């Protein structure tokens, strides 16, 4: 069966408190950098076997729903590529 | 001054232990998913003012070197886009 690489970019939803992002924003400011809207999210990557890219995407969306992403707090983008 | 959006995708270097990735891999397996090479990294996003995209990229690379990325353990990809 072919294998696919999946990359999930998981972000906190707008309005959800992001203490890690705030800490980074403060540290950047202390260092003299002019950054704003700093956000810290997760980058999840994995390899999976699937008959087609469409099937791989559906499978990773199931993984997201069951484990990887908390839909109350998080949003995600998914990119599937052939290995 | 124009503003740019920066996205840093930070990954652990090959060979660096990834306990978060291992935990996700085990949980996916317990749920019946066939995933391998699971890796957990960071997605850092921010907005910054800069005269050009090239200047924005240089500035974010300085932020990475001074604060955002640990070059001993981590690698990163950077994407700059106009806002």
Cβ-nearest to A31 among B11, B47, B67 = B67
Mutate to test the interface with B, among A5, A29, A34 (most CBs of B within 10 A): A34
Contact (CB<8Å) B44/A39 = yes
Quick: pLDDT tens for B52-79: 999 999 999 999 999 999 999 999 999 9
**Sign of the C-alpha dihedral computed for residues B30, B38, B21 and A28 taken in this order:** negative
Whether B67 and chain A come into contact, CB under 8 Å, resolves to yes
Domains of chain B, each with CATH number or no CATH:
3-82 (3.30.1280.10)
Cβ-nearest to B46 among A31, A38, A68 = A38
Q: Which value, in Å, is the radius of gyration of the alpha carbons in chain A?
A: 16
pTM: 0.94
Quick: pLDDT tens for B8-34: 999 999 999 999 999 999 999 999 999
Distances from the Cα of A59 to the Cαs of A42, A80, B17, in angstroms? 19, 11, 26
């Amino acid at each position: 069966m072919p294998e696919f690489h999946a990359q999930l970019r998981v972000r906190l939803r707008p309005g959800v408190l992001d203490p890690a992002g705030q800490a980074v924003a403060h540290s950047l400011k202390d260092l003299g950098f002019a950054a704003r809207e700093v956000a810290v999210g997760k980058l999840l990557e994995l390899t999976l076997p699937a008959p087609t890219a469409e099937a791989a995407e559906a499978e990773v969306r199931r993984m997201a729903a069951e484990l990887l992403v908390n839909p109350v707090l998080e949003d995600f983008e998914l990119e599937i590529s052939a290995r």
